[in-house]
A and B are shown apart, each in its own frame.
Chain A
Amino acid sequence: METGEEHKSPPYMIVFVVLAVLTVAEVLFALLFTGLPKFWMGVGLIFMAVWKAVLVAMYYMHLRFEPKRLWILAASPIPLAIILVVVVIREF
């Protein structure tokens, strides 16, 4: 896109439906499976949230159609974020 190349229009409405379904699934999971251990509840909810975030980044922010160098740039704060959280956790 940024180089002027044409690409097939992303499936915006399919992504929207998946995001809506995942949001409903998250809420139902949190409200109906209250007996689950907190750890597994957290893992399940975070998995769905990250899946939704990746869909938004890939299709709505068009990251899927960007050059690899922008991917590297976009991923650069992830290790920094992990370091930030791990270092602060060690303070406790």
Chain B
Amino acid sequence: MTTITADRAPMAGMKVYHLKLGMWVFLLSEVMFFTGLIGSYVILRFAHPEAFGVPGEVLNVPLTAFNTFVLICSSVTMVKAFAAIEQNDQEGLQKWLLATILLGAFFVGVQAWEYTLLASEGFVPMAESYHAIARGAAEGSEVIGGPLYGATFYTMTGFHGAHVSIGVFCLCFTLYRARKGAYTAGNLGGVEIMGLYWHFVDLVWILLFTIVYLI
């Protein structure tokens, strides 16, 4: 039977250990943060429909759908890392953490590339000129979205991208600690709370992708 170390001893009351409780409380504050962003987007879009283009005409939906799949894959590798350390499989933990880091970094890279493509098509993040133009349209074509569209799009996806980037850095630190042998089957709190953060970032993207790219 696995021995539970003091840092994972369940607290009286909530019946979870303090690190996990702390991460959940942090994630709940993040829920409110992203609710503010998504709520503002939805309200602005309904209030000013003329300022928003049809996502499929402006944004690259197939590319982002592929990127969504990449992030879902990274969630699988993260739970595989957790499942490995539950079995005290150090090699498996490091292998799956590395896979998660690579997939997370790939997601951020594709997002940066998407921004470059959008900027080259005229959807640029500059004050007064967030105008959206249909994809593949000739230069000087009719503008199909105004400043609000670009402002909300880059704010929401940018903040999410920042969260993923921070997650990748934290995963690198977790991998560094794993290589030092810091985690065992009885001391896997660090891997578990890292996983909670990573899955939350995935969960937020699932909702963002639907609301920003598909609806």
Whether A27 touches B61, Cβ cut-off 8 Å, given contacts A41-B215, A57-B203, A74-B24, is: yes
Chain A's closest residue to B76 (CB) is A16
Which chain A residues border B160 with CB–CB below 8 Å? none
Closest chain B residue to A38, Cβ basis: B215
Which secondary structure characterizes the binding site on chain A?
helix
Contact A69 B15 (CB under 8 A): yes
CB distance A4 to B206 under 8 Å?
no
Binding site for B on A (CB under 8 A): 2-4, 9-10, 12-13, 16, 19-20, 23-24, 26-27, 30-31, 41-42, 45-46, 48-50, 52-53, 56-57, 59-61, 66-67, 69-70, 73-74, 76-77, 80-81, 84-85, 88-89, 92
Q: How far is the CA of A19 from the CA of B46 in the complex (A)?
A: 29
Q: Is the CB–CB distance between B28 and A76 below 8 Å?
A: yes
Chain B residues, CB < 8 A from A48: 210
Judged by a CB distance under 8 angstroms, whether B199 is at the interface is yes
A74 to B209 CA separation, bound complex (whole angstroms): 22
Residues of B within 8 Å of A, CB-based: how many?
51
B residues adjacent to A (C-beta < 8 A) = 2, 4, 8, 10, 13-17, 20-21, 24-25, 28, 31-32, 35-36, 39-40, 42-43, 46-47, 56, 61-62, 65, 68-69, 72-73, 75-76, 78-80, 83, 195-196, 199-200, 202-203, 206-207, 209-211, 214-215
Would you mind naming 27 contact pairs between A and B with Cβ atoms under 8 Å apart?
Answer: A4-B4, A9-B83, A12-B83, A16-B73, A16-B75, A20-B69, A23-B72, A24-B65, A27-B65, A30-B214, A30-B215, A41-B215, A46-B215, A52-B206, A56-B75, A56-B203, A57-B203, A60-B195, A61-B200, A73-B24, A73-B25, A77-B32, A81-B35, A85-B35, A85-B42, A92-B43, A92-B46
Q: How distant is the Cα of A1 from the Cα of B209 in the complex, in angstroms? A: 32
Complex partner residue of A67 from B8, B15, B47, CB under 8 angstroms: B15
